Amino acid sequence: GYYGEFGGAYIPEMLYPNVEELRQNYLKVMAEPEFQEEFNALLKDYVGRPSPLYFAKRMSEKYNTKIYLKREDLNHTGAHKINNTIGQILMAKRLGKNRIIAETGAGQHGVATATVCALMGLECIVYMGEIDIARQAPNVARMKMLGATVVPALSGSRTLKDATNEAIRDWINNPVDTHYIIGSVVGPHPYPDMVARFQAIVSEEIQWQLKEKEGTTKPNYVVACVGGGSNAAGAFYHFLDDTEVKLIAVEAAGKGVHSGESAATSILGKEGIIHGSKTLLMQTPDGQITEPYSISAGLDYPGVGPMHAHLYKSGRAEFIAITDDDAMTAGLQLCKMEGIIPAIESSHALAVFEHKKFQPEDIVVVSLSGRGDKDLETYINHFKL
């Protein structure tokens, strides 16, 4: 349950049976051939996998390097989140759970969870910060359409962190029939590991897709944005042990890393406990968790998954912090050069090309973790289009 010194399960005793049941079963269940078969069939026929590995010709010309985009934006529901919720809903069914809870920030994970619950006919309750409910109305509407109950988190900053607290509280109160579908590689063990394994399909596909296109399974770089870190975990997964493949994690610098309005956890964070996991998190000297800021609701999280804390601390991945402005510019550039509107989260990863010079022969795979339809208003307002 640890990545170096990070990870673990720092949970109240009330959650012990739930988490322990999951810990004891998740690897066994995931290894079952019927589970694999059902998971893979849904990824193919329902999610639309494999997601393409798209050679971005015009971008590659501009930056004089080989840029491939891993198109998670084309997944059903519009982001990588669904890979995990498909896996977890199958897990929940096998564990006999009939009630599903989830937290959501921007609403992508909430939609992905509501989606798989509809697919399986299970009750779904999504906790979402009251402020996020107001600013992410389309995703709230989608969840309602899908039959989920969206419960506003009224405590704290009324955003993602607080929605997570509320979801954990719900789980504490409903220990028997409920499975909590965490949306990122955060939370107590086994969540970070389980979610990473469900997302690992992303790097698995990159390997064989790159083999088809470039004759090698190894990109020179894999670039992904990191909030909690699930899309990066998926994109990095099969390359973690191969140091020939350089990993770049892009965090949200908000209005500037040291502006006081940032979500660059690796730089600003210190080791601590958040949502059941020992990791890097943004906190006061006193150990109170501080409010992060990013224009991207999906990166607006004060912690980071323990895998990423370890990648940072060990130096295995390079961490870059990209400001709101630079991310937005990179996002708009992708629209105009490749006809793809990226989620603002993904735009952070795309900004790497203005930040770092690559060689012409380098193969750089960028995780395009989601589509930007949910972010249209933010883009339009930002650029006064």
Partner 1 sequence: MNRINQKLQEKTNEKLLSIYFTAGYPNLNDTTSIIQDLEKSGVGMIEIGLPFSDPLADGPTIQASSTQALKNGMTTEVLFNQLKDIRKTVNIPLVIMGYFNPILQYGVEAFCKKCQEIGIDGLIIPDLPVDVYNDQYKTIFEKYDIINVFLITPQTSEERIRFIDSISKGFIYMVSSASVTGSSSDFGDVQTEYFKRIANMKLKNPQVIGFGISDHTSFMQATTDARGAIIGSAFIKHLNSEGTGKIHRFIGDILEA
Cite the active site residues: 81, 103, 369
By CB under 8 A, tell whether 385 contacts a second copy. Answer: yes
How far from each other are the two terminal CA atoms of the chain, in whole angstroms?
47
User: Rounded to the nearest whole angstrom, what is the least distance from the CB of residue 180 to partner 1 in the complex?
Assistant: 12
Q: Report which of 200, 211, 195, 225 is spatially closest to residue 319, judged by C-alpha positions.
A: 225
134 binds, among a second copy, partner 1, none (CB under 5 to 8 A by kind): none
Number of residues forming the site for partner 1 (CB under 8 A): 36
Supply the DSSP symbol for 5. T
Q: Which of these ranges, 251-259, 308-316, 335-343, 354-362, lies near a second copy under the rule CB under 8 A? A: 335-343
- The helix/strand/coil state of 360 is coil
By CB under 8 A, tell whether 25 contacts partner 1. Answer: no
Q: Pick from 173, 216, 259, 359: which binds partner 1 (CB under 8 A)?
A: 173
> DSSP secondary structure string, 235-301?
HHGGGTT-TTSEEEEEEEEET-TTSS----HHHH-EEEEETTEEEEE-B-TTSPBPPP--SSTTT--
Q: Give the C-alpha separation, 25 to 40, whole Å.
A: 19
CB nearer to partner 1: give 108 or 277. Answer: 277
Q: Which of these ranges, 173-181, 229-237, 241-249, 357-365, lies near partner 1 under the rule CB under 8 A? A: 173-181
By CB under 8 A, tell whether 13 contacts partner 1. Answer: yes
User: Using CB atoms within 10 A of its CB, is residue 1 exposed (0-12), middle (13-18) or buried (19+)?
Assistant: middle
Residue 350: phi and psi, rounded to 5, are -65, -25
By CB under 8 A, tell whether 51 contacts a second copy. Answer: yes
By CB under 8 A, tell whether 48 contacts a second copy. Answer: yes
Structure tokens at 102: 């989830």
147 binds, among partner 1, a second copy, none (CB under 5 to 8 A by kind): a second copy
By CB under 8 A, tell whether 154 contacts a second copy. Answer: no
By CB under 8 A, tell whether 39 contacts a second copy. Answer: no
Between residue 89 and residue 108, which ones bind partner 1 under the rule CB under 8 A? none
User: Rounded to the nearest whole angstrom, what is the least distance from the CB of residue 186 to partner 1 in the complex?
Assistant: 13
Give CA separation, 193 vs 22, 115, 158, 266, in Å: 12, 23, 27, 20
User: Rounded to the nearest whole angstrom, what is the least distance from the CB of residue 218 to a second copy in the complex?
Assistant: 19
Between residue 261 and residue 280, which ones bind partner 1 under the rule CB under 8 A? 270-276
Between residue 134 and residue 153, which ones bind a second copy under the rule CB under 8 A? 138, 141-142, 144-147
Residue 196: phi and psi, rounded to 5, are -60, -40
User: Rounded to the nearest whole angstrom, what is the least distance from the CB of residue 20 to partner 1 in the complex?
Assistant: 9
- Amino acid (1-letter code) at residue 291: E
User: Using CB atoms within 10 A of its CB, is residue 119 exposed (0-12), middle (13-18) or buried (19+)?
Assistant: middle
Q: Give the C-alpha separation, 19 to 14, whole Å.
A: 10
Q: Which of these ranges, 13-21, 53-61, 133-141, 347-355, lies near partner 1 under the rule CB under 8 A? A: 13-21
Residues near a second copy, by CB under 8 A: 44-46, 48, 51-55, 58, 71, 73-76, 78, 114-119, 121, 138, 141-142, 144-147, 332, 335-341, 372-373, 376-377, 379-380, 385
Residues near partner 1, by CB under 8 A: 8-14, 16-17, 154-156, 161-162, 165, 168-169, 172-176, 270-276, 283, 285-290
